[in-house]
Amino acid sequence: MDALAADFRQLTERGLLRADDPHTAADHFAGLALWTPVNQALLVADTPPPEPAGHQSPCHRGHPRLPRRIPLSPPPAEPRH
């Protein structure tokens, strides 16, 4: 966040951005950038994550014995006939 705030401070000094508080601006920017993927991961348990561009690091492959996502609620009951 400090590096992003420093960049925002430089942009403000150059007149390319208007930010009264570069740290708050950096915090808001990061929040906006992460809002959709974080909410998708937390709130939509059955949606697979997007595949990362380029190579896959071991952390993107997941652990073989753990589920990729933990459901927030139990699956719907099978209808009884």
CB 68 within 8 A of CB 51: no
Tens of pLDDT, residue by residue over 4-45, are 999 999 999 999 999 999 999 999 998 888 887 777 777 776
Q: What is the pTM of this model?
A: 0.47
For helices 22-43 and 2-13, give the axis angle rounded to 10 degrees: 130
CA distance 56 to 52: 7
Least-confidence region, from 3-7, 47-51, 62-66: 62-66
Nearest to 44, CA basis, from 78, 77, 68, 79: 68
For the chain, the straight-line distance linking the first and the last C-alpha, in angstroms and rounded, comes to 56
